[in-house]
Structure 1
Amino acid sequence: MRLPTHTRLMLILAAWSSVSALVLADEFADYGASLSKRLGLQATALEVAGKRAFVILPAAEKQQTPQPWIMYAPTLPDYPDQHEAWMHRQFVEAGIAVAGIDAGEAYGSPDGCQALSALYQQLVERRDFARQPCLLGRSRGGLWVTNWAVDNPELVAGIAGIYPVFNLQDYPGLANAAPAYHLTESQLQQQLAEFNPVARLQPLIAARTPMFMVHGDVDDVVPLATNSAAVAEKFQSAGAGDCVTIKVIKGQGHNFDESFFKCQELVDFATKQAREGAQP
């Protein structure tokens, strides 16, 4: 007996959906396994708003309710990487979870911030994570976390950065960033005050958001003067200079030196702020 056309189509679609779900599940499982191997820590892959995400939890005896946590960026197929293994191990040993979502090369765009919000909602509303995470941006991850923080200052316990980008003009440059914002280069240039983190810090200044950055003084990819130092100057000019600390690494640029990735002061700052964000 020949089935009606609409029935055949429903069966085909159901079979296709089952195969797609299996492929998606395998992809997420592979991602979790790959990240766990790179960091030497147990990372759990999540699907959040159709995007790949991860969470690294402390051992069961160190978990808390609400769970203090760090929102990390940029989460990409290769990030976080092995250079950050020591740092993330310190966090989980201190009872701090770490999580991130792969928004692609979003460069702090509204799409990227929307992805961070989806991650936040899933962890805070469904998993009893603390309402105020500490944010950690490595390099271009600074664009992600700062623009999200500017939009949500009441949800941020602090911001830490490893040679973080705060200025789209320096990295990735407006021509490269514009597609992520669904703008042309000239349109993005005209709207920099709306989108460039270094130009829109007032909500963080008003909230007196604590910040800690470690940055090399010869960084020619993300120059200190127009990124971390520019942020500090804006806080200082507004009478909130005591909120920002920069550890300047002499003679270092945009590299993998241990002074960046085994920076105890940064780990201590992020741990302290994440714990404070979990207080009632």
Structure 2
Amino acid sequence: MRAVVAVASILILCPAADADEPAPFPGAICRWNGFVRHDFRVYGADVIVVEPKEQPLGRPWAWRGEFFGAFPDADLELLRGGWHLAYMSVPDLFGSPKAVARWEAFYDLLVKEYGVSPRPALIGLSRGALYCKAWAAAHPDETLAVYLDNGVCDFKSWPGGWPKGLGTGAGSPEEWVKLLDAYDFEDDREAITYRGNPVDRLGPLAEAEIPILLVYGDSDETVPHRENSEVVYDRYRALGGPVERVVKAGADHHPHGLTDPRPVVEFIERAWRDWGRP
């Protein structure tokens, strides 16, 4: 059963929406790169919704897994094209079931109360990939497409890495401790034998034919591509899932994104058209 939604009390002040019109977004309003941004709280977490200036039929939206505002070129192009942009701040939950429960509350609110599309496009930069892939694996019918950028696809690789003897990357012992707590693992062994990593949960996405785009540097020392993006690429292809990749030769973990974000935007917009929505 999905978690009960708890939203900031400002929602009570919003007038009832017309049957044909979604409710207005609540919260504090400011401008973000020229677009209207709403900040409020859901299920005890800070959330952000940015509105496009023009809103096409169907109200498509993109959901950031982590690091709102970082390397936002593709986000901004989507906003210019009529997409809403959403983010929920649960930074130390690493895509765990606790994170998915909070995402479910936010999703239900956005779709049922504010009328956005039931299928968001997911944007996962770095550890944000853990959130996006966890959502997609649990909710393939509520996922439009998945774009991962130097994404963490196996937490054994990061924050595990070489300090734990689990990968070639630098890892992060401090973040590993947080991850154990987020998943309620009793010890390292339970985490290592866990089979809920993104690289282990590709079957539901492939069956639903959810398109995946992987953008990654082939010299990433933080989230090594051979332990993350390339594993997803090879396994997803073997499962028959639609997957594309853009490999940045010689690139490290930063900067994320592409100098020209059009391949990312076109990938997401093509998924929207292929789904059959206007």
TM-score of the superposition, structure 1-length normalised?
0.78
Rounded to whole Å, the distance in 2 between the matches of 1:47 and 1:278 is 32
Rounded to whole Å, the distance in 2 between the matches of 1:268 and 1:147 is 24
| Correspondence 1:263 to 2:257 | no
Q: Which runs of 5+ in 1 are unaligned?
A: 1-19, 23-27
Structure 1 position 21, deviation (Å): 7.3
What does 1:98-109 align with in structure 2 at a 5 Å threshold?
Answer: 98-109=85-96
Rounded to whole Å, the distance in 2 between the matches of 1:172 and 1:210 is 26
SS in 1 for 2:71: helix
SS in 1 for 2:38: strand
What does 1:133-144 align with in structure 2 at a 5 Å threshold?
Answer: 133-144=120-131
SS in 2 for 1:64: coil
Q: Aligned residue for 1:249?
A: 248
Deviations 1:260-279 (A, max 9, x none): 36432012212333455572
Rounded to whole Å, the distance in 1 between the matches of 2:223 and 2:40 is 31
Cα distance change, pair 278–131 in 1 and its aligned pair in 2 (3 A): farther
| Correspondence 1:63 to 2:55 | yes
SS in 1 for 2:244: strand
| Correspondence 1:273 to 2:271 | yes
Structure 1 position 96, deviation (Å): 0.7
Rounded to whole Å, the distance in 1 between the matches of 2:137 and 2:96 is 12
2:80 to 93, 103, 112: 93
Structure 1 position 49, deviation (Å): 1.5
1:189 to 166, 188, 192: 192
Q: Which runs of 5+ in 2 are unaligned?
A: 1-7, 11-26, 161-175
Q: Aligned residue for 2:65?
A: 73
The AA in structure 2 aligned to 1:112 is: A
Cα distance change, pair 121–48 in 1 and its aligned pair in 2 (3 A): same
Cα distance change, pair 227–82 in 1 and its aligned pair in 2 (3 A): closer
The AA in structure 2 aligned to 1:110 is: P
Q: Aligned residue for 1:7?
A: none
Q: Aligned residue for 2:119?
A: 132
Structure 1 position 204, deviation (Å): 0.7
Rounded to whole Å, the distance in 1 between the matches of 2:239 and 2:49 is 36
| Correspondence 1:179 to 2:181 | yes
Structure 1 position 186, deviation (Å): 2.2
Structure 1 position 65, deviation (Å): 4.1
SS in 2 for 1:136: strand
| Correspondence 1:83 to 2:71 | yes
SS in 1 for 2:156: coil
Structure 1 position 81, deviation (Å): 2.6
Deviations 1:68-117 (A, max 9, x none): 0011111xxxx323531x32221111111110111121111011111111
User: Which protein shows a greater Rg?
Assistant: 1
- 135-144 vs 262-271, which moves further: 262-271
Structure 1 position 42, deviation (Å): 2.7
Deviations 1:113-155 (A, max 9, x none): 1111111101101111101111111110000010111000111
Cα RMSD over matched residues?
2.3
Q: Aligned residue for 1:16?
A: none
Higher helix share: 1
Deviations 1:183-240 (A, max 9, x none): 13222223x21x2111111111111210011100000111111111111111222233
Identity of aligned residues (%): 25
Q: Which stretches of structure 1, 4 residues or longer, exceed 6 Å deviation after superposition?
A: none
What does 1:199-278 align with in structure 2 at a 5 Å threshold?
Answer: 199-240=200-241, 243-256=242-255, 260=258, 262-274=260-272
Rounded to whole Å, the distance in 2 between the matches of 1:130 and 1:248 is 30
Rounded to whole Å, the distance in 1 between the matches of 2:125 and 2:48 is 16
Asked if 2 retains the 8 angstrom alpha-carbon contact of 1:96 and 1:271, the reply is no
SS in 1 for 2:76: helix
Rounded to whole Å, the distance in 1 between the matches of 2:71 and 2:235 is 31
Asked if 2 retains the 8 angstrom alpha-carbon contact of 1:130 and 1:278, the reply is no
Cα distance change, pair 178–187 in 1 and its aligned pair in 2 (3 A): same
TM-score of the superposition, structure 2-length normalised?
0.79
The AA in structure 1 aligned to 2:206 is: I
